[in-house]
Structure 1
Amino acid sequence: MATEDARKASLDEKSSGKEAEVAQDPVFERPTGLKGFYAHPRTQVAMLGFVCFMCPGLFNALNGLGGGGQLDSKTSANANSAVYATFAFFAFFAGSINNKLGSRATLLLGTFGYALYVGSYLALNIHPNAGGFVIGAGAVLGISAGLLWAAQGSLMLAYPTEDQKGQFISIFWTIFNLGAVIGAAVSLGLNFNSDGNSVGNGTYIAFLILTGIGVAIPLLMIDPAKMVRTDGTRVTTSRHPSWKSELYGLYLVLRNDPWIFLLVPMFFASNWFYTWQFNVYNGYMFDIKARSLNNFLYWIAQIIGSIIMGFILDQKKIRRTTRAYVGWAILFVAVWFIHIWSFFYQKDLVRPADPENDPFVKISIHTPGYAAKIILYFFFGMVDAIWQITAYWLMGAMSNDPAKLAHMSGIYKALQSAGAAVAWRADAVGVSYSSLFISTWVLLIGGMILVLPMIYLRVKDHTEPEDETL
């Protein structure tokens, strides 16, 4: 009798377990035809990519011109300082705002700052005394950027099934990076016959129109709550912790995994070099035609560099620890290579007291020796991509837990934005070109040196169970 009761209890338990499983993972029928194509997760992630193509992508293209395309880079430097200062602060709370408003609404709000920022440069071209407006627009953009990237992360990781995440991330990042390439191409086409040293109104108007399209795209996207994945499961968008939970989680990451402190200089330097590369090397040395061509090739190099480094770090036939050392060695050599080469150009550059009456002759695409200089700028783009890919890969090697990785990524973005804010402000207050160059070189090398013991002590061939949770 007792045996019979136990058997029935076991059957009831199995039955209820199956019912619970079905209740947890219901399968929905996906729409077909044109509606099915439009509501397909891959299509929606591609649309998300085009939002970032039109907004952050074009922001990158504008910055890559040096000085935002202006003759005097001071206003642009102050604006970028404002962007990254507010970004570093407000990105911390953006996840909670995303939870309250929903990812689509948060994404929409996040796009407005980019349109305002581009429009402020058009206003500056028309009204030369509108520099304060550009700086204010930069501060607003920092808030918008925090919202946009919080929503982007939620949507990009929620739509694919487990075995599609790499593919979907690849789709997004490819489209996003092409935004800077296309933006740079537009600028090159509009300024190719220009003899001036700043871009015309047509460039800013073209960027403003494209950014306006980016603002409109979230309105056309499917409500995430109605999305069905390719396996028939309903999308549950990821939820971000409240600011109190975020603070506590951050504390746990730093307490339980203190080796991340060795990555702090690498994180802090990860956008520092943009100031010297964009505003000094490209912005000061070249005329607008050459700056536009340099910028175009810089962002193409970014795509190439990310593909190459991703391929090297993803060779599963090689032990993960070996890949970590190989990646470190490639990056270390590359940083020395581009800065030794750059030194021979930087040693002759002096910040002018009066930019409008500076005797320095701008380099054009017809100037002898231009080919070597644009090749160096191409390598700048490749090394930038290699640096960012390596930083993310090292974080991924420390854990597979999404919550822990979210905190690590938050630390990365906050330190990255803080470093950029300091560097852009240093340029705005007139720190010498040589000081900006030396600080860039020292920070990058110092960051790399501290990464080496972190690899030795922390990166393993397989992630241990104790690394999976906070």
Structure 2
Amino acid sequence: MKLPFVPPLRLYSPFWQNVLMGAIVGLTAGLYQSLTSLGAGGLRANSAHTVEVVNATLCATWFAASLVSGTILNLVGPSWTAALGVFGYAFYVAGLWYFDATGQAWFPIVGGVLIGISAGLIFVVMGAIAMSYSEEDERGSYITISQNLQALGAAIAGFIDLMINKNRASADGVPIAVYIIVLAFMGVGAALSFFLQPPAKVTREDGTPVATMAMQGRTVREELKASWDAIKNWDLLLMIPAFLPSECFLVYGGSANAFRNNLRTRTLLSFVAVVLQMPAAYGLKLVLDHAAWKRRTRALIGLALVGTPLIAAWIWQMVEVRHYDRSVPTPADALVDWTDRGFVSDFFLFTLTWVASILFQYIILYFLSCMTNSPRKAANYAGVYRSFLAAGEAIVFGIDSAGVSFLNMAAILFAFYTAGVFIFLYLALFHITETQYFTGEDDVVIPQHILEAHEVAGQGVDEETKGEAEGSVKA
């Protein structure tokens, strides 16, 4: 039976374009997680040094690439931008395979540069499509679909990890078959990239395009200026403390998890956390798209549902790790197994931290989507967000590699997450408006049913905007 909220399968549908992009990210960034948790590139004597170099180059290029990825997306379109993003992931996976086989570090180091660029490209495309192809009453749905498809890829990868590691206490490398399977799926993702369509060709179910032809024709200089203008946006600058920690929980959680738990326990925790993320995100979507509530109400309730457990999780983290001594590595026979009594509390803490922290990314994208309906601006905003996300992750990588205590790391992340929650509370109370359609942006087309609703309500629409909208529908 066909679900009522799913439109007919159509290449130029904004809904299916969003699904397609989510699937592409799931086949790249999602599957990539399986290799890192299996210990890809960790079989050589120089592995630790190589990983440090790769992480440094990855984060540096990710930060820089994300800043200009919105410009690249607006210049060459989503298809080529996503395809280039997939290529970097595949190159990096091949580099890890080569390093495990030969011990030569140049391939994964070059791959670290390329995957940093690719992460900037591919996530900016995903964020821009989710934010700007959707209508205002379905932003939560689009964000949830694309993010959950990425999580589905990670869950599939996690299941592969779990099956391989269920009887293993420590990593001993990645089977060649896993490398081949992951690269094959990334090839599928690259092929799917060429079905992505530019905003001017994507039309909603009522025939309205998501953007006008004004989307085309900007020069490189104009695009770079637009990116700079986005960075100077006061609301966006205010969000930076929320952007910085939004993916740092992966670095902290992976390090603390490895300090306390054995391999199969770590694998189980990561798999279950990703699986739980998906229904939790769907519940958040029901709030963010609740038709009976105003947008400010949805934003406030969604923020409360995510922010409260998020702050609680990081307080619990500080209590839990206050006695961890990183200068004394945990002996292998003392690591927690899933059959031990201490596993239950670890399970609830890890999954609560993961789900609350990852849902904070959904909240960030929702608040960004409330700032504009313009595909151009959405691309630039997504680029700024991903850039500072990468910067935050790079900082935490550095803190972690320096051996800073888990308590101090948790305290830093608690401070930033708490600041982010209160920043979004301020924005929800004083900056979120009910619509962004009537702001005069030159690439936004008003859907016909939105236009009619405002006419019925007696709300003013200037004649130029109204004519443009009606003309685009007739066309």
Select which of 221, 225, 229 maps to 1:244: 221
Residue number in structure 2 paired with 1:5: none
Counterparts of 1:25-424 in structure 2, within 5 Å, are 48-63=21-36, 65=37, 76=51, 78-98=53-73, 103-126=78-101, 130=104, 133-150=107-124, 171-195=145-169, 197-202=170-175, 205-219=177-191, 221-222=194-195, 224=197, 242-253=219-230, 257-278=233-254, 280-352=255-327, 358=331, 361-424=334-397
Q: Distance in 2 between matches of 1:375 and 1:99?
A: 43
2:312 maps to a residue whose letter is F
Counterpart residue identity of residue 368, structure 1: R
Contact 2:288 2:298 in 1 (8 A): yes
CA RMSD of aligned residues (A): 4.0
* Contact 1:95–1:240, Cα closer than 8 Å, also in 2: no
TM-score, normalising length: structure 1: 0.76
Q: Is the 8 A contact 1:96 1:242 kept in 2?
A: no
* Structure 2 CA distance for aligned equivalents of residues 349 and 67 of structure 1: 24
Deviation at 1:312, TM superposition (A): 1.7
Superposed counterparts of 1:423-434, under 5 Å: 423-434=396-407
Greater helix proportion: 1
**Whole-Å separation in 1 of the counterparts to 2:41 and 2:60:** 22
Does the 8 Å CA contact 2:39/2:172 hold for their aligned counterparts? no
Secondary structure class of the residue paired with 2:334: coil
- What SS does the aligned partner of 1:55 have? helix
Deviation readout 1:202-246 (Å, 9 max, x if unpaired): 2x6414422333224433655858988677899999659555324
**Letter in structure 2 aligned against 1:454:** L
Unaligned runs of 5+ in 2: 1-7, 444-475
Matched to 2:154, the amino acid is A
- Cα separation, partners in 2 of 1:44 and 1:157, compared to 1, 3 Å: same
Matched, 1:460 2:460: no
Q: Could you report, residue by residue, the CA deviation over 1:286-324 in whole angstroms, capped at 9, with x for unpaired residues? A: 111111111111211221232122222222323333333
Q: Is the 8 A contact 1:263 1:447 kept in 2?
A: yes
* 8 A Cα contact 2:69 2:121, kept in partner: yes
**Contact 2:128-2:378 within 8 A present in 1 as well:** no
1:186–1:288: structure 2 CA closer, same or farther, 3 Å change rule? same
**For the residues of structure 2 that align with 1:189 and 1:359, how far apart are their CA atoms?**
21
* Preserved contact between residue 306 and residue 386 of structure 1 (Cα < 8 Å): yes
Contact residue 337 and residue 343 of structure 2 kept, 8 A = yes
How far apart in 1 are the matches of 2:260 and 2:401? 17
Would you say the 8 A contact 1:97–1:106 is kept in 2?
yes
Letter matched to residue 159 of structure 2:
A
> Over residues 390-432 of structure 1, what are the superposed CA-to-partner deviations in whole Å (9 max), with x where a residue is unaligned?
1112222233333333332222111111111211122233333
Aligned residues: 427
Which deviates more from structure 2 when the two are superposed, residues 283-292 or residues 327-336?
Answer: 327-336
TM-superposed CA distance for 1:171, in Å, is 4.9
- SS of 2:92's partner is helix
Partners of 1:51 and 1:215 within 8 A in 2: no
Rounded Cα–Cα distance in structure 1 between residues aligned with 2:137 and 2:421:
33
What is the aligned partner in structure 1 of residue 454 from structure 2?
A: none
For structure 1, the residue ranges without an aligned partner over 5 or more in a row are 1-35
**Cα deviation code 1:131-152 (max 9, x no counterpart):** 6654442222112223334555
What TM-score, normalized to structure 2?
0.75
SS in 2 for 1:366: coil
Aligned partners of 1:90 and 1:143 also within 8 Å: yes
Return the alpha-carbon distance in structure 2 between the equivalents of residues 433 and 233 of structure 1. 52
1:333-369 alpha-carbon deviations (Å, 9 max, x no partner): 212211222223312222247x6x8578211111112
Q: Distance in 2 between matches of 1:452 and 1:235?
A: 29
Contact 1:399 1:467 in 2 (8 A): no
**Which residue identity does 1:363 align to in structure 2?**
V
Q: 1:110 to 1:402 in 2, by over 3 A?
A: closer
How many percent of aligned residue pairs carry the same amino acid?
A: 23
Give the 3 Å change call, closer, same or farther, for CA 132–428 of structure 1 in structure 2: farther
